[in-house]
A and B are shown apart, each in its own frame.
Chain A
Amino acid sequence: DTAVSQTPKYLVTQMGNDKSIKCEQNLGHDTMYWYKQDSKKFLKIMFSYNNKELIINETVPNRFSPKSPDKAHLNLHINSLELGDSAVYFCASSPKRGHSPLHFGNGTRLTVT
């Protein structure tokens, strides 16, 4: 009964392709996030949704588009993949935004060749 589950775990694809990563949480949390962790292990927030409403949209190329069909799901679609998109992408959720613990998914390792 994984609290925050994301799929796929690994994603290997070629430049120029379009791919999606799915995330679901069963914790009843209001807020969900996408973080990117690069090869240097830096954790950078990309997007945050609170009750299906976009509240954080960092300086991310518009090739990245999040979608939240309901507050338990936050998917990430990436168009025209580039080599620099290779990273581990973590989905996370929290009961409230900003001042409560984050619960991370197990990550999706994206490799663009």
Chain B
Amino acid sequence: GENVEQHPSTLSVQEGDSAVIKCTYSDSASNYFPWYKQELGKRPQLIIDIRSNVGEKKDQRIAVTLNKTAKHFSLHITETQPEDSAVYFCAANYPFGNEKLTFGTGTRLTIIP
């Protein structure tokens, strides 16, 4: 099965600066890597995802990079704003059998005004 590690567990950045959250996965066959944002008291929501056939994907201030050789992927948020404060989860799939999606342990991001 898949094992996903996520770092850091907490991250504080000044408003306007960039934030980077990193994840590593164990199964080289994994081919789908989504990122979810969970605001306080709310449900996790997909913010961006990447598949193994691309190395980078951008959506406005958010980007995800994937290094298949090293088996790690990262979330980059530029020009951070107070509304970016939330818990962020990475995930990776196990593409065989039940194709389970395994989540990282989460990063609590705090944007300091």
Contacts and interface: CB of A to CB of B under 8 A. Distances in A.
Contacts of A48: 98, 100
Contacts of A7: none
Interface string B36-52: 10100011111001010
Interface residues of B, number: 26
Interface stretch (A63-71, A75-83, A95-103): A95-103
Contact of A104 (B44, B93, B95, B98): B44
Interface in B64-112: 87, 89, 93-95, 98-103, 105-106, 108
Given A43-B89, A104-B43, A98 B101 contact: yes
Contacts, number: 57
Interface residues of A, number: 21
B68 to A, nearest CB: 15
A102 B101 contact: yes
B32 A99 contact: yes
Given A43-B44, A45-B100, 5 more contacts: A41-B105, A44-B103, A102-B44, A105-B43, A106-B43
